[in-house]
Amino acid sequence: MDSRDSSLLTTSSPDGPSCDDGGVLSVSAALAKDASLYFQSRKYAECVEVLNQLKQKKEDDPKVIHNIAIAEYFRDGCSDPKRLLNVLNNVKKRSEELACVAGEQVESVGPVGNKGILSSKGGGNLAHQFSVNSRSIIYMDEYDSSFATLNIAVIWFHLHEYAKALSVLEPLYQNIEPIDETTALHACLLLLDVVLACNDASKSADVLNYLERAFGVGSVSQGDNGSLVMQQSINLIAKSASIPCSSLVTDVSNSDFAVNASENPLSDDPLDEMFSILDIGGQNLSRIAGIASANEAPRTIVSRSISNVDLKLKLQFCKVRFLLLTRNLKQAKREVKHAINVGNGRDSAMALFLKAQLEYDRGNHRKAIKLLMASSNQTEAGIASMFNNNLGCIYYQLRKYHTSAVFFSKALNNCSSLQKDKPLHLLTFSQDKSLLMIYNCGLQYLACGKPILAACCFQKASLVFHKRPLFWLRLAECCLMALERGLIKASQALSDRAEVRVNVIGKGKWRQLVIEDVISNRLVDFVGKVDLVFGSDGQPNLSLPLARQCLYNAWHLLNCSELNNLKSGLPASLEENESSEVVSWKTSNQKNLPSIDSKASTLLVGLGQVNSNGNAREQKGGSNQGIIQNSISYYEEICRKGNQMIKQALLADLAYVELELGNPLKALSAATSLLGIPDCSRIYVFLGHVYAAEALCSLNKPKEAAVHLSIYLSGDSNAELPFGQEDFEQWRVENTVDCEELNEESVTAKNPPEDWHNLMFLKPEEARGTLYANLAAMSAMLGEFERAYHFVTQALSLVPNSPEATVTAIYVDLMLGKSQEALAKLKQCSRIRFLPCSLQLNKSS
């Protein structure tokens, strides 16, 4: 901890070397030293004051401005990251300009200067000397914008804007060689955290490799340069404190329900976490610290050997995280053990958490719970929230959704108290995983069948998740589920539609039955503007048009993420064109699957959120290249399959939504795209055919619709099972392959007998019944009543309670003149409700 303070000291020092004349130098140096002392002792107001004095002497020096900004930021309780970002961006720009100017000046001396800089990396002493000797070089060094860049990245990182952080860090990493070791190490470690947070396996591997090579732990040349080691050690300790807190962030976000295994006891003092900014803000001059206060040296030297181990440990942890990300569990297990050996008792909490996550991934949820309990003390709010969230994840995986709700709400409660207790600062942002937890809550509510609350949660979480296709798919599912349960305003519940209402009109022999045409009442009647997603009452305004927009978003993101952006897609699928004329048909029976779809797509709930990732980069050489490479390709396969599954669900949902909105043209194109997906699950193929058939019927092309439906006909009148039980199995297997150990089933096979998948989806036999009902309706439309009668009889034997099938049967009976049979069917079906007359009829009828 002391060593960290020493690095703080450096904050003030930059000015020193940059001044020519000795007097000013000494004054500045003194001021700088004061400032750094104040900073160390967390007297930020005083520090700012001193720095301001310094600023008067050194107008325009970007470093002073930089340091002032940081000190002020801390003084104000880290309340305004936006302002800090602004200042830092300005500083960066300014530094670059200056460096550019300076660079031109030095151009003649270029090679020498470069060498100087390179060697300056070696240690603070050297740099100092150089800075005294050669002004221009110092300017180069001085105006190195990498510190500002790094700090910008840190702030983005803490705001959970990983993509942004990545975009800031990438250029730095691409050009890492000239940057001094410490900054480079920090940049690399941060980058590693960022890419892990982005679930970017190949980049993680890349950075990991580079780190191992360049900062070679173990036998690599650290002995060469004592000061290097010293530097490293200083920063390493700083880092070892900071990294855990950042890894904390990463892991939570890493997937829907990945256990964020990284709560770290080291970070239980919130101030330590501030350090993740501070160390970077301050580190730019840490190398001079060595000189400025020579008495620091012994201490740092003392900590050297330890910190070397720490770096190693840190890298080892990152490696485990990488392996966990790529689901290379065997290897991960080995590496965790290794890490525990390396750590030799240090940082055992981290190791335990990683182990917990490992067990979680392997499906040993009980063991994971035990490890979690062992590894943390839950007294501190931040940790407790993490802990509760993790338990929530575990119970979710055990399908104890309501129990998981208890933990999630506890976790959020902890977060909320965290927010209220302290003044708002960056720390709160970074420690505040509430958004991620809220997303988890959303998923859990979706699983519990509470779409409105789920949508509320998702909406909150959108700040962090809006770039993920799955997020939008989930939101669309909320809409569909709300539709199914009749929660959408001004529309009719599907459950109502699942009932045939028969009005009893008149008495005695004048009694008549009137069947309301409920089923065909589509939901077209939305008023056009649906922009306001969240109404004034704060309740989400779930609607079908919103579902459509969400699905488009998901589709768009999915396509963007596919590097090889094949031109498959909605527009492409329209290539087959048929001329059409417009009369739509009246029977509603095609709409036999209103509820399947949302159900179908919720299948995905259990699937971990898989981030797609196309850009594999060439690997730099490394020791365990093979393993890493394998992991990556395996992971890419997982991602690809995951995307495929998302795509299937998405297109099926889209086709359904468009049908519901009365937009058969688009529904048809979505269904066609769905059918065009290679290796599409037979379940979705079935949905694709049925939706396409309905769309075609709406476009008045029953003949073409017949083509879709008769695919399942063997012979003239017998329908095959559209999909079998084994397709569920297959789906399940795929599911487990996809997020392999994320799912319980693969490891422990003690599921309740009726698998939940089956509960959510039509059973194969029911699907066949539905198919028969559709065929019957279609034959009836084409006037083939005998055939329709045959089909509908089959349908009723398979799905006796389907109102659609019943209504079709009654229609067919009436058309064939069998009114008594129709009546008998009405009495038999359990979805029929006899109502007293509610219609006002005039005398004539």
Cβ proximity to other proteins, 317 vs 395, nearer residue: 395
- Interactions with other proteins, residue window 608-627 (CB under 8 A): none
* Distance between CA atoms of residues 567 and 678, nearest Å: 14
Cβ proximity to other proteins, 117 vs 546, nearer residue: 546
- Interactions with other proteins, residue window 717-756 (CB under 8 A): 750, 752
- Interactions with other proteins, residue window 74-93 (CB under 8 A): 81-82, 85
Residue found under tokens 């994840």: 393
Cβ proximity to other proteins, 458 vs 728, nearer residue: 458
Which tokens hold the place of 732? 């399940």
Write down the least CB distance from residue 392 to other proteins, Å.
10
Q: Does position 844 bind other proteins by CB under 8 A?
A: no
Q: Which of residues 30, 518, 574, 747 is near other proteins by CB under 8 A?
A: 574
Q: Does position 548 bind other proteins by CB under 8 A?
A: yes
Q: Which of residues 409, 492, 710, 746 is near other proteins by CB under 8 A?
A: 409
Stretch that binds other proteins, among 544-552, 617-625, 636-644, 713-721 (CB under 8 A): 544-552
Write down the least CB distance from residue 174 to other proteins, Å.
19
Which tokens hold the place of 340? 């525990």
SS (H, E, C) 437-505: HHHHHHHHHHHHCCHHHHHHHHHHHHHHHCCCHHHHHHHHHHHHHHHHCCCCCCCCCHHHHCCEEEEEE
Write down the least CB distance from residue 692 to other proteins, Å.
14
Residue found under tokens 């981290």: 350
Cβ proximity to other proteins, 159 vs 179, nearer residue: 159
Write down the least CB distance from residue 351 to other proteins, Å.
21
Which tokens hold the place of 810? 């009654």
Q: Which of residues 556, 563, 718, 841 is near other proteins by CB under 8 A?
A: 556
Write down the least CB distance from residue 311 to other proteins, Å.
33
Write down the least CB distance from residue 34 to other proteins, Å.
34
Sign of CA dihedral 765, 767, 773, 778: negative
DSSP state at residue 700: T
Q: Does position 598 bind other proteins by CB under 8 A?
A: no
Decide: helix, strand or coil at residue 762: coil
725-727-733 Cα angle (round to 5): 110
- Interactions with other proteins, residue window 437-476 (CB under 8 A): 438, 441, 445, 448, 450, 453, 456-457, 459-460, 462-463, 466-467, 472
* Distance between CA atoms of residues 263 and 630, nearest Å: 29
- Interactions with other proteins, residue window 763-822 (CB under 8 A): none
Q: Does position 257 bind other proteins by CB under 8 A?
A: no
Q: Does position 528 bind other proteins by CB under 8 A?
A: yes
Q: How many chain residues bind other proteins (CB under 8 A)?
A: 111
Stretch that binds other proteins, among 122-130, 603-611, 639-647, 665-673 (CB under 8 A): 665-673
Residue found under tokens 């980058």: 191
Q: Which of residues 224, 529, 749, 842 is near other proteins by CB under 8 A?
A: 529
Stretch that binds other proteins, among 116-124, 198-206, 346-354, 408-416 (CB under 8 A): 408-416
* Distance between CA atoms of residues 149 and 94, nearest Å: 12
Q: Does position 294 bind other proteins by CB under 8 A?
A: no
Stretch that binds other proteins, among 32-40, 573-581, 616-624, 770-778 (CB under 8 A): 573-581
Q: How far from 246 is each of 162, 190, 417, 423, 683, CA to CA, in Å?
A: 12, 8, 21, 20, 42
Cβ proximity to other proteins, 429 vs 634, nearer residue: 429
Q: Does position 705 bind other proteins by CB under 8 A?
A: no
Are β-strands 832-836 and 718-719 bridged in parallel, bridged antiparallel, or unpaired?
unpaired
As a whole number of Å, the CA-based R_g of the chain is 33
501: phi then psi, degrees, rounded to nearest 5: -100, 125
- Interactions with other proteins, residue window 151-170 (CB under 8 A): 159, 161, 164
| Element containing residue 63 per DSSP (H, E) | helix 62-75
Cβ proximity to other proteins, 662 vs 724, nearer residue: 662
Closest CA to 362 of 103, 736, 638, 799: 736
- Interactions with other proteins, residue window 344-403 (CB under 8 A): 366, 369-370, 373, 378, 388, 391, 395, 398, 400-403
Write down the least CB distance from residue 56 to other proteins, Å.
31
Sign of CA dihedral 734, 738, 740, 744: negative
Write down the least CB distance from residue 136 to other proteins, Å.
36
- Interactions with other proteins, residue window 41-70 (CB under 8 A): none
Pick left, alpha or beta for residue 60 (phi over 0 → left; psi -120 to 50 → alpha; otherwise beta).
left
Residue pair 341/309 in contact (Cβ under 8 Å)? The answer is no
Cβ proximity to other proteins, 221 vs 840, nearer residue: 840
- Measured from the Cβ of residue 717, the count of other Cβ atoms closer than 10 Å reads 13
Q: Which of residues 297, 424, 677, 814 is near other proteins by CB under 8 A?
A: 424
- Interactions with other proteins, residue window 482-511 (CB under 8 A): 499, 502, 504, 508-509
Count Cβ neighbours within 10 Å for each residue of 263-289 and write b for 16 or more, e otherwise. bbbbbbebebbbbbbbbbbbbbbbbbb
Write down the least CB distance from residue 108 to other proteins, Å.
39
Q: Which of residues 110, 171, 571, 817 is near other proteins by CB under 8 A?
A: 571
Burial (CB count within 10 angstroms: exposed 0-12, middle 13-18, buried 19+), residue 746: middle
Strand order in the sheet with 832-836: 512-515, 500-505, 832-836
The torsion of the CA quartet 675, 679, 682, 688, rounded to 10 degrees, works out to -10
Q: Does position 558 bind other proteins by CB under 8 A?
A: no
Q: Which of residues 52, 89, 125, 416 is near other proteins by CB under 8 A?
A: 416
The single-letter code of the amino acid at 681 is S
Beta strands (DSSP E) in 68-181 are: none
Write down the least CB distance from residue 710 to other proteins, Å.
22
Q: Does position 665 bind other proteins by CB under 8 A?
A: yes
Which tokens hold the place of 774? 């559709």
Write down the least CB distance from residue 145 to other proteins, Å.
19
